[in-house]
Amino acid sequence: MTTETTRRARWFTSSGADPNADHQVFLFPHAGGTAPAYQTWAATLPSTMEVRTLQLPGRQERFEEEPFTDVAPLVEALLTAFEAELDGRPYLLFGHSFGALLAYRLSVAAAADGLPAPALLGVSAWAPALEPAADLARVATMSDDELLARVARLGLMPEGTALDAATLASIMPALRADFLAAGSLREDGEPAPCPVAAYCGTADPIVTPGDMAAWTDHCAEFLGATEFPGGHFYLFEHAAAVHHGLERHLRRLTART
């Protein structure tokens, strides 16, 4: 097995390569999230899109690997793996919450490295300068119960949910590391080198539809923010509508070029 094949298998999962698809689609999960969180997207996105989902170190089959707690080396490592995935087709990046942060910084790093820019960057429930880094970095001193309570307030799990010791041991290192990585981001105002389409929930406790307007100053072209009923994880209920929005933007952008 080649080094490139090993890298591709470890960082990105795919339900099956389709060289006939018009676009490659790279999906970036939320903090603590795993590739299977998007496993249904490959079946529901249009056949013109080949789906690949990020699987970060420190979870599931990569559990033995140390998760990143600093976003700069994470993006550097991610860029190396990502470059091996590109095959010349136009591509789309889409991320939710922490995943949106990673997709944005990867688009900036890819352009700086001389790679083709994405045809579109889709961002969900995150915007530049959304939350003070110091607040996110506080998770380093939180107990597991405090961190889970914070996650529960976002709607990822019911408040008061009790997890057994084995489950906690399997999810907490990656969850804590992702929050720390998000808190390590130092805003530099660098714009995404492509059009950006934003999505959010109207009842999100940490990002409002108005916050998403910050993308206007952080991209080559802002295509607007689409709002859906729901909280921070509105995406689980409205995935099909988000798919439709991404496809519509891609059709317009393709027709324009």
Residue 3 confidence (pLDDT) above 60: no
pLDDT tens digits, 80-125 = 999 999 999 999 999 999 999 999 999 999 999 999 999 999 999 9
CATH code, 3-256? 3.40.50.1820
Reported as a pLDDT band with limits 50, 70 and 90, residue 4 is: very low
| pLDDT at residue 6 tops 80 | no
pLDDT in tens, 171-195: 788 988 998 898 888 888 899 999 9
Check residue 1 and give its pLDDT. Answer: 36
Confidence at 29, pLDDT banded by 50, 70, 90: very high
Cα of first residue to Cα of last residue in the chain, in angstroms, is 38
| Confidence at 165, pLDDT banded by 50, 70, 90 | low
Q: What percent of the residues of the chain are helix, what percent strand, and what percent coil, each to the nearest 5?
A: 45, 20, 35
pLDDT at 147: 82
User: Is the per-residue pLDDT at 206 higher than 70?
Assistant: yes
For range 19-32, the mean pLDDT: 91
- Are the CB atoms for 134 and 86 separated by under 8 Å? no
Angle between helix axes 165-183 and 71-85 (nearest 10 degrees) is 100
Structural domain boundaries of the chain? Answer: 3-256
SS3 89: coil
Mean pLDDT to the nearest integer, 206-224:
91
Distance CA 130, CA 127 (A): 5
